[in-house]
Amino acid sequence: MNINDPAAVIGTNAWGGKMYGKAIRGSYVEDEVIIEAMEEAKRRDIAVFDLARDYGFGKAQKMIGHFGTSDVIISSKYTPFTHYKKDCVRRSLLKDLDDFKRDYVDIYWLHLPTDIEEHLNEIIELYKEGKIKNVGVSNFTLEECERSKAILEAHGIPLYGVQNHYSIICREWERNGLLKWCKDNGISFWGWAVLEEGLLVDPRVRKKSPMKFTFNRKVRKLEPVYSVMIEIASSHNIKVPQVAMAFCASKGVVPMVGCRKPSQVNDLADASGIKLTEEEIRRLEKAADSANVKIMGADIFRAFVLKERKK
């Protein structure tokens, strides 16, 4: 598995306990099934797992540590919900490493662009100590990515990647040049929630979920997008959600999908190798643009970004 160019990434936001699964994710999946999904990911060479301390209400990290992290790629994050305080990143990373039963993480992301310099400086220290192998930023604008790249490069550290929301219906980072900037600079772009939290799936498969309930009206507006997805799925002999995954892969975006079952891992592994034609991409984009539906939205986490402190 090549860390510099992963075909796909498995999100762990949906892993967690029974209460969390049923209340937030609409269903609970037993640990044994998630372990099978992990094994399948290793067999399919997409064993890259994306984590954060709050995933699964804080359980996902402990789960993966318990299941075994010796032969997988671990991506984890520091989430600055408050302003920078000395050693805040170090304390959080040490808890991660304790959970993962490891002495390093493969990729570590600054989850939000709050106090960028201060947080990155601490990440740089941890990188130099060998506790972090690659550094990325998440939910950053192009200007914030440029700043981060310069801060890291001043210490001889490359910016590994950018992890932002991207899907058929959310392509702002392409429109405003961030995706091209990443490609031009050899920086990996990971698209999170490419299934829009399970809404860009087959509308004919009736599955209840809190997201479907919350976004019922918006889901109806997505019907023209679903129609094109269904046609493209049928011409490639794949499933409808795989069209959403293949769309990202075809655009040079690493598709990140919340997988809890072996079948979902296989869907992702297969889809990430499918190249949609220019015409198929154009039809999906046209349908998405006319539907003009925002579900998560590229700016979903901007409200959590704190203003810079006066120096």
Ligand X SMILES: NC(=O)c1ccc[n+]([C@@H]2O[C@H](COP(=O)([O-])OP(=O)(O)OC[C@H]3O[C@@H](n4cnc5c(N)ncnc54)[C@H](OP(=O)(O)O)[C@@H]3O)[C@@H](O)[C@H]2O)c1
DSSP state of 114: S
CB nearer to ligand X: pick between 129 and 165: 165
Q: What is the nearest approach in angstroms of ligand X to the Cβ of residue 266?
A: 8
Chain Cα centroid distance, residue 149: 20
Q: For ligand X, which residue of 171, 241, 247, 249 counts as binding (CB under 6 A)?
A: 241
φ, ψ of residue 162 to 5 degrees: the values are: -125, 135
Exposed, middle or buried: residue 170 (CB in 10 Å: 0-12, 13-18, 19+)? buried
Does residue number 13 form part of the binding site for ligand X (CB under 6 A)?
Answer: yes
Which residue among 40, 197, 280, 285 contacts ligand X (CB under 6 A)? 197
**DSSP secondary structure letter of residue 75:** E
Binders of ligand X in range 263-282 (CB under 6 A): 264, 267
- The 141-180 contact track toward ligand X, x by CB under 6 A, reads ----------------------x-----------------
Nearer to ligand X, 52 or 130 (CB): 52
Among 6, 7, 12, 226, binds ligand X (CB under 6 A): 12
Q: Which structure tokens are listed for 69? A: 């992290």
d(CA 115, CA 99): 26
**What dihedral angle (degrees, nearest 10) is formed by the CA atoms of 66, 241, 140, 73?**
30
What are the residues facing 136 on neighbouring strands?
109, 161
Shortest Cβ distance from residue 134 to ligand X (Å)?
15
Site for ligand X, residues 18 to 77, rule: CB under 6 A: 25-27, 50
Which residues does residue 165 pair with via DSSP β-bridges, in sequence order?
192
Residues within the interface to ligand X (CB under 6 A): 11-14, 25-27, 50, 111, 138-139, 163, 192-198, 201, 209, 241, 256-260, 264, 267, 301
